[in-house]
């Protein structure tokens, strides 16, 4: 299979990204039909960070970060570098020096389905990373791979230029061609949430405004006025 680097990709417009920056991961994930959420084992090393930008992909061989170095040259300001590997591995694929170089290129974050190291230094730099492992084990730099090729990261198919959003709740992807629909659906969801908050503020109960009482009845969930009533009912039934 040919190994390659694609220098230029189609990215979302600045105005499109700005609209999605107003949203959060959970809202977008729910609004697009519970799609695009990457596996729960990807964790942020920097709490409170929230990012949104186009994906640049780097596909490496496990334990070798040559293609991450190739990707640094290709990245543009605002990009999110998505790193995956051929083969399983959790070696420290990036560290302080690579992150420093990415910051210099204007990259806003890394999402990596592998490991990283130099976490204390990366946190001090204030650079957001979502990773599945932290490990000091180093890597080689001698195996070719791909930059800006389609890949799968943490169970989600990623095409270069797709929108990546991440915060403390996780990482979600929005396909480039689906962005207008996802944005409109997210806005509608926020409106419904605002209406729900108003109901809660008025003292309404979620069992009622979500019409959940019939579900409880269907599931035969019994109610008792007290522990004594519960105990009496169960003693008498023996």
Domain assignment of residue 165, yes or no? yes
Number of domains into which the chain is organized: 2
Domain assignment of residue 145, yes or no? yes
Domain assignment of residue 84, yes or no? yes
Same domain, 17 and 79: yes
Residue-number span of the structural domain to which 231 is assigned: 205-238
Tens of pLDDT along the chain (238 residues) come to 899 999 999 999 999 999 999 999 999 999 999 999 999 899 999 999 999 999 999 999 999 999 999 999 999 999 999 999 999 889 999 999 999 999 999 999 999 999 999 999 999 999 999 999 999 999 999 999 999 999 999 999 999 999 999 999 999 999 999 999 999 999 999 999 999 999 999 999 999 999 999 999 999 999 999 999 999 888 865 5
Same domain, 135 and 211: no
Same domain, 76 and 111: yes
Which residues make Cβ contacts (< 8 Å) with residue 60, sequence separation at least 6? 66, 67, 68, 83, 84, 85, 86, 93, 114, 143, 145
Domain assignment of residue 196, yes or no? no
CA distance 43 to 146: 24
Same domain, 105 and 147: yes
Same domain, 175 and 221: no
Same domain, 126 and 219: no
Same domain, 173 and 211: no
Neighbour tally for 197: CB within 10 Å: 10
Q: What is the pTM of this model?
A: 0.92
Same domain, 232 and 166: no
CA 40 to chain centre: 9
Same domain, 63 and 155: yes
CA distance 26 to 71: 29
Domain assignment of residue 149, yes or no? yes
């Amino acid at each position: 299979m040919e190994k390659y680097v694609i220098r230029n990709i189609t990215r979302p417009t600045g105005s499109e990204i700005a609209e999605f920056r107003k949203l959060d991961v959970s809202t977008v994930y729910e609004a697009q039909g519970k799609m695009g959420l990457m596996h729960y084992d990807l964790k942020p090393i920097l709490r409170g960070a929230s990012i949104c930008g186009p994906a640049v992909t780097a596909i490496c061989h496990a334990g070798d970060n040559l293609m991450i170095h190739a990707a640094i040259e290709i990245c543009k300001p605002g990009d999110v570098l998505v790193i995956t590997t051929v083969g399983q591995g959790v070696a420290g694929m990036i560290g302080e020096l690579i992150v420093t170089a990415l910051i210099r290129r204007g990259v806003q974050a890394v999402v990596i389905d592998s490991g990283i190291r130099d976490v204390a230094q990366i946190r001090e730099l204030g650079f957001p990373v979502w990773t599945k492992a932290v490990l000091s084990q180093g890597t080689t730099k001698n195996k070719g791979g791909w930059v800006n090729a389609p890949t799968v990261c943490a169970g989600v198919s990623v095409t270069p230029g797709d929108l990546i959003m991440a915060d403390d709740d996780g990482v979600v992807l929005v396909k480039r061609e689906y962005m207008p629909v996802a944005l409109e659906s997210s806005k509608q969801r926020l409106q419904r949430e605002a209406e729900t908050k108003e109901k809660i503020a008025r003292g309404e109960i979620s069992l009622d405004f979500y019409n959940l009482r019939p579900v409880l009845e269907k599931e035969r969930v019994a109610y008792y006025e007290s522990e004594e009533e519960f105990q009496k009912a169960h003693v008498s039934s023996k």
